[in-house]
Structure 1
């Protein structure tokens, strides 16, 4: 049978069309299989992280949401039920002159601890970095207060600050200077609290800085020495910039620690005299557990939350511009 050119072309077209249908169907089956597998992987992923999401949502996010709602209510925890009052709790706080003083106390306390921790911690770390005899024992002794409870440290400083028989009197008497009434005088109470708090955390900050110092590359110092750079220039141009990640860590931990300070305030000053050493965290405790005013306590806690949120944002900007990771 004779096959014309048109017939051969028709058969070729049919073969090419039929041959192309098989890969297309196979590709669709492969794609469906791929998406089924991806859905199974997503389902497994969600199943694996759901316990963590549940825990984080329950213990992190839900308390914040509940506290935000509680700050809009008036509720005596000993009796009655929460009553919605809107922003009245916040208005009462900002219209209170004593609360303005509490905010100032919080900022003063936090700034003094943060600045003091950085300066004194770095100075002690530089001293510890020297090749001195018995430096291991000295480092251990300096770090020890950090692992002691805040209540115990505050009790120790109560004895040190005692104007009748404390260590401060023993030190000041030979100079004819009377020991101040540290924790009972509004002019000295905050200073006493700052001294005790700095002493407790100084060893930890010094050890952190010491770890940073001992990991700095020696070749940079050798190059600076060959270039004729002095001690201060080397410290300012090499040591400080390379220690910026450590400084940032110290800033973050110090700020968080000061805003959470409670135990040493409770034992050393009790927030007094008057409100001289009352910080936001101590005020939240007073309103919530002593005055049983849950609404005011929640509003103060939300203000503390927003302050920390702003500080965190500023710290993030600081990291982007000033912190140099090597």
Structure 2
């Protein structure tokens, strides 16, 4: 009983010390993040065309409209494809790079080069790749010059444009996740790899039984960051399709659809209630995917 009271007293004293330091941060976070989020949820149940116009409560009308709108469903499906398929490619390339680069001389330089695309502006990357893939762009010209004119395509056509966007996002993001994973791999003692090599393990087996288990926490963090970032994919789509007009339906993500609802898109009339509803759906999608990933990837902490 005495021990219980002692432990409780220590916790109470600790709480009294922490609370004064936490309150300012909690207050700022509430004002800047939680309160606006609550207001957004409220506006998602209204029809609101912006400042100076009344917000009329419409219940679930915005959500019902989304579920029956083929344009939004296409954008939502594209977002899911980007999150899942893009994530598979990003981390497959990341793991392959880890296997190759870990024992490479000058690996710090290689990692720096791989990291460069992730610090470039998505607008710049999207614009450059868009020019590259134009019907008269560098890629089709190169294919024609080397006698492979049968491989030329309308890369920015409806059937291929979102696949090209995914490829550009994967190329941009992979270096960032390589940096995250390699920072954890660098902390693994070299003696463990020496023992694995003496036991006859090749590079793939070293990765499977040593590198990945000891860097699983970094992979979990990277996967969560990928989900959060890919759900919000926006700038590169706008740059890919050009900012002069509305992006084609086949290229849209959920974030682009939200942007078009805010600006009015083709109609020219902003629908901020619909935009708020799209934001709520994006938040729910992110929350579900993050919780699922955390459950799938959770494991016992491995002490080195």
The answer as to whether partners of 1:244 and 1:324 remain within 8 angstroms in 2 is no
State the partner residue of 1:10.
none
Cα offset for 1:75? Answer: 1.0
**1:125 paired to 2:98:** yes
Which runs of structure 2 are paired with 1:199-278 in the superposition (5 Å)? Answer: 199-269=171-241, 274-278=248-252
Q: Is the 8 A contact 1:189 1:273 kept in 2?
A: no
- Using the size of structure 2 for normalisation, the TM-score is 0.84
Alignment match, 1:309: 287
What CA distance in whole angstroms lies between the structure 1 residues aligned with 2:111 and 2:206? 25
Q: Which has the larger radius of gyration?
A: 1
State the Cα distance separating 1:66 from its structure 2 match: 0.3
Contact 1:160 1:167 in 2 (8 A): yes
Name the counterpart of 1:7.
none
Distance 1:308 1:76, change over 3 A: same
What's the offset of the Cα at 1:95? 1.9
Aligned-pair CA distance for 1:303: 0.9
Q: 1:173 to 1:192 in 2, by over 3 A?
A: farther
Offset at 1:262? 1.2
Name the structure 2 match of 1:283: 257
What is the TM-score when the length of structure 1 is the normalising length?
0.79
Displacement of 1:245? 1.5
Counterpart in the other structure of 1:89: 62
Counterpart mapping for 1:1-40 below 5 A: none
CA distance in 1, matches of 2:179, 2:281: 33
Q: Does the 8 Å contact 2:91/2:174 carry over to 1?
A: no
How much has 1:168 moved relative to structure 2?
4.9
Q: By how many angstroms is 1:101 displaced?
A: 1.7
User: In the TM superposition, what whole-angstrom CA distance separates every residue of 1:233-291 from its partner, at most 9, and x where no partner exists?
Assistant: 33222222222122112211111110111111111126976311211111111101234
Q: Which residue of structure 2 lines up, in the alignment, with residue 29 of structure 1?
A: none
Aligned to 1:295: 273
What's the C-alpha RMSD, in Å, of the aligned pairs?
2.6
Matched, 1:103 2:93: no
- Structure-2 separation of matches of 1:166 and 1:71: 44
Maintained 8 Å contact 1:155/1:267: yes
Give the 5 Å matches for 1:60-209: 60-77=33-50, 80-132=53-105, 135-171=107-143, 173-174=145-146, 175-183=148-156, 185-209=157-181
Partner of 1:12: none
Partner Cα distance (1:238, 1:141) in 2: 26
- Tell whether 2:29 aligns with 1:56: yes
Give ranges in structure 2 of 5+ residues lacking alignment. 1-8
Report how many residues are paired: 285
> Which segment is superposed worse, 271-280 or 294-303?
271-280
Shift of 1:118: 0.5
* CA shift in 2, pair 1:46/1:216, >3 Å: closer
SS of corresponding position for 1:181: coil
